[in-house]
Amino acid sequence: MLRRSIFFLLICLRVNAWTQEKIIIHVLHDGMPLELASVFREQTGDLVYTDKSGSAIFEVAHRDEEKFVVSMVGFKTDTILFERDNQKLERFVELLELPNILNELVVTGTMKEVSQANCMVPIEVYRSSYFSKLPTPNLFEALSQVNGIRPQMNCGVCNTGDIRMNGLPGGNTMILIDGMPIVSALGTVYGLNGIPTSLIERLEIVRGPASALYGSEAIGGIINVITKKAENAPLFFIDMQSSSWLEHQIDISTKTKVGRKWSVLMGANVFHFNQAIDRNNDGFMDMSQVSRVSGFSKWQMQRKSGKILQFAGRYVYEDRLGGQLLWTPQDRGGNRVYGESIYTSRFEILGLYELPVKEKMLLSFSWNRHDQNSYYGEKFYLANQEIGFLQWTWEKKIKSHDLLIGAAWRRTFYDDNSVATAEWVDGSERNLPSIISLPGLFIQDEIRGNEKHSFLLGVRLDHSAIHGYIPTGRIGHKWNINPSTLLRTNAGTGFRNVNVFAEDHAALTGARTVVFLEALRPEQSASIQSQILHKKQIGNSVWSMDASIFYYYFTNQIIADYDRNPEQIVYANLNGFSHNGGVSMNTDYSFGDWWLRTGVTFMDRRIVEEDVSVVPILTEHVNAVWTISKHFDKGNWSVDYTGNLYSPMRLPLLGDLDPRKEYSPWWQIHNIQVKKQWRQWEIYAAVRNVLDMVPWKDNPFIIANANDPFDQNVVFDETGNVLPTAENPYALTFDPSYIFTMNQGRRLVFGVRFTH
């Protein structure tokens, strides 16, 4: 009897313990938890939404087969099957993002948060998950996967560069961080490499002049880097990456609460590469050595009113070195061994404060300081730049009119030891820092005509102490042809104030003499762009296509003339005009576990002066990108294949005897990545530049006169022209500007990520 009682008691305890068991499903995207994803239990009809940790919990009554359907708007639906004999009651599921379904909220086009479908201005959105398909340590390289955008290397020694959109020079594109003009001038040349992709929640890209809303520099387009919010970030994240070239990077971020109201996101990034590699045997490093460290913090306050209060700060320090293999720190500034040594220190602060009034008014500000201590061979360049920005905006709806009224003030301080900030008084030179104050007023009106037609009108007036009043404007029209198709047309004008020494690395190298033919006036532009977008979704399959035509017309454009004299860079406002027209097309296709994105841009950019039309140097006619991804549910593997294709572009030669090719070849970059996810861990391996494409192949050399970088053996005639000699048969001077892509060839990349 006692044995039977004990046996019965054990059975009851066993049943009771089983009834207390739970099925736990963790829903993730890009390694981070997804809140409010729906998890549907088919057997019982129960529906549970995931909590902030991305988890959904179900009680287990008995060990029957269980099927769960996991879904969320904007993501591919997935199913999880628990078999009868499976003892594992906790699962992790990674949802794949569906491309371009137009429900993404954007802010860049009109400075107001609206969905892509309702935005009057065409905006491209790229989330961080897209850039994770190409393992790269910084934003500069990641942007190569955006159609119509090309990171341009401007120096074969120190590997600095800029971002070219639709074939336009880098200075024509305004780069924002969280809507603030943090990256500009010196920051554009030296600061882009210091933005790690781990900080990015998404990129918003607007093509065409946006000066009517953003003022100077938004003459050709905008790239807005939206950083992650603490509420959307994981509790802890780490990404460690190394390459076969011995490039090492580590990204760390975490979030916490300070008191009851403050949410804080903190992150740090370290990148280190110190190898002296010379595969083309010219005596110079193929890639510059870089040691970089940056720290980032973003604070957000939860106010009772629900209004916005946030501020963020970032610090970046970088030590960059390129030059001859034998260079040592003792050679900095000397003429024994050539090197370009650049120390950069940057502080950035930005904030948003929604005023405590009934109307929707927002006060935003930013400030950044860029200090640079650098040597280009013997040439010493010491520079300091500060940019302060303050803006007030007021959103007001009056019937069918959606108004945005604003006032902005921007102050740019720039000082260096070049002729850019020098003046002669009574026969002596004195330093005269450049201080430009640029206040502006703007108003924008979005007019909702009916369900199919909407209109946009905008005008802005800026005032420069040097150039006076500068008006800009834009108009737009959006036509909802049907629920799946819309047509947007936008036209506008833009302007840009230029500081050559702060933007153009070629002006600093000392390889050529800088010549200004006149006092430079602001560049001005007018453009028109029309985009048609069509999307179709059937179940889990999504297909979308957008096609655009664009045309830019520039006056007063500042051209760096490399052709007039091979010993000079001649800067002047164009005595004529330049124009750039083209077509662009993007397609997204998602079916099953496959995802395909392709993009191609055809363009024709020309400079017209005195009835002579020429294509500028470093300007391609065709730019194409692609991404093909496949996810394997079994084992949770994925494969990403990405690539770029560029047509030939004219390169800067140094004279008729220069043996290098006048045009680059058709060149392409292919990358393959394999990722394996296991719960909160992700391991990835990639091959970058599979075909080992480098600019020095099929060329006798890349850097001109690399064996005599101080031009000690160069012979000149009475007029200053270089004479050919036995030591210098091609009549060249030292010049590293002949470059169209990175010298870094094929390499393996390995990494691991952990998200909690």
| R_g of the chain, CA atoms, integer Å | 28
* Residue carrying the six token digits 């192949």: 697
* pTM for this model (two decimals): 0.84
Same domain assignment for residues 207 and 252? no
Determine, yes or no, domain membership for 710. Answer: no
pLDDT at residue 17 is higher than 60: no
Q: Which of 231-235, 242-246, 550-554 shows the lowest per-residue confidence on average (mean pLDDT)?
A: 231-235
**Distances, alpha carbon 236 to alpha carbons 28, 31, 35, 230, 252, in Å:** 14, 11, 16, 11, 8
Q: In total, how many domains does the chain have? A: 3
Residue 579 confidence class, pLDDT cut points 50, 70, 90: very high
* Closest by CA position to 500, among listed 430, 573, 566: 573
Same domain assignment for residues 630 and 562? yes
Mean pLDDT for the stretch of residues 169-183: 80
Phi and psi torsions of 610, nearest 5°: 55, 45
Same domain assignment for residues 277 and 199? no
**Percent of the chain residues past pLDDT 90, beyond the cut:** 43
Residue 107 confidence class, pLDDT cut points 50, 70, 90: confident
Query: How far, in Å, CA of 418 to CA of 434, rounded?
Result: 12
Same domain assignment for residues 60 and 179? no
Same domain assignment for residues 456 and 595? yes
Mean pLDDT for the stretch of residues 239-244: 95
pLDDT of res. 567:
62
pLDDT of res. 19:
45
- CATH number of the domain enclosing 31: 2.60.40.10
Of 47, 63, 94, the residue at which a domain comes to its end is: 94
* Closest by CA position to 649, among listed 687, 686, 617: 617
In sequence order, the 6+-apart residues with CB closer than 8 A to the CB of 575 are 609, 610
Residue 232 confidence class, pLDDT cut points 50, 70, 90: confident
pLDDT of res. 662:
94
Same domain assignment for residues 235 and 166? no
Same domain assignment for residues 212 and 246? no
Determine, yes or no, domain membership for 719. Answer: no
Same domain assignment for residues 447 and 499? yes
Determine, yes or no, domain membership for 725. Answer: no
pLDDT at residue 9 is higher than 50: no
Determine, yes or no, domain membership for 457. Answer: yes
Top pLDDT among 391 and 737 is at: 391
Of 63, 94, 125, the residue at which a domain comes to its end is: 94
Amino acid at 449: G
Determine, yes or no, domain membership for 624. Answer: yes
pLDDT of res. 502:
53
pLDDT tens for residues 502-548?
Answer: 555 555 555 556 666 667 778 888 999 999 999 887 766 788 899 99
Residue 6 confidence class, pLDDT cut points 50, 70, 90: very low
Residue-range definition of the domain harbouring residue 580: 226-652+661-699+735-750
- CATH number of the domain enclosing 406: 2.40.170.20
Structure tokens at 55: 């988890």
* Closest by CA position to 320, among listed 367, 373, 267: 373
pLDDT of res. 563:
62
Structure tokens at 327: 């260079």
Q: What residues form DSSP beta bridges with 256?
A: 264
Residue 15 confidence class, pLDDT cut points 50, 70, 90: very low
Determine, yes or no, domain membership for 99. Answer: no
pLDDT tens for residues 130-155?
Answer: 888 887 767 788 888 999 999 888 78
Share the mean pLDDT of the chain: 85
Residue 102 confidence class, pLDDT cut points 50, 70, 90: low
Q: Which of 241-245, 464-468, 560-564 shows the lowest per-residue confidence on average (mean pLDDT)?
A: 560-564
Cβ proximity of 113 and 124 under 8 Å: no
pLDDT of res. 499:
62
Mean pLDDT for the stretch of residues 50-66: 79
Of 94, 126, 141, the residue at which a domain comes to its end is: 94
Same domain assignment for residues 439 and 519? yes
Determine, yes or no, domain membership for 265. Answer: yes
pLDDT at residue 367 is higher than 60: yes
Query: How far, in Å, CA of 386 to CA of 63, rounded?
Result: 66
Top pLDDT among 102 and 451 is at: 451
Determine, yes or no, domain membership for 547. Answer: yes
Cβ proximity of 661 and 680 under 8 Å: no
Residue 8 confidence class, pLDDT cut points 50, 70, 90: very low
- CATH number of the domain enclosing 153: 2.170.130.10
Top pLDDT among 149 and 432 is at: 149
Cβ proximity of 498 and 466 under 8 Å: no
Percent composition of the chain: helix, strand, coil (DSSP 3-state, to 5): 10, 55, 35
Query: How far, in Å, CA of 187 to CA of 177, rounded?
Result: 12
Same domain assignment for residues 218 and 263? no
Same domain assignment for residues 533 and 614? yes
Same domain assignment for residues 335 and 403? yes
- From the CB of residue 714, how many other CB atoms can be counted at a distance below 10 Å? 18
Order of all β-strands in the sheet with 513-516: 513-516, 568-573, 558-561
Top pLDDT among 92 and 490 is at: 490
pLDDT of res. 85:
59
Q: Which of 172-176, 496-500, 578-582 shows the lowest per-residue confidence on average (mean pLDDT)?
A: 496-500
Query: How far, in Å, CA of 205 to CA of 107, rounded?
Result: 10
pLDDT of res. 7:
43
Top pLDDT among 692 and 170 is at: 692
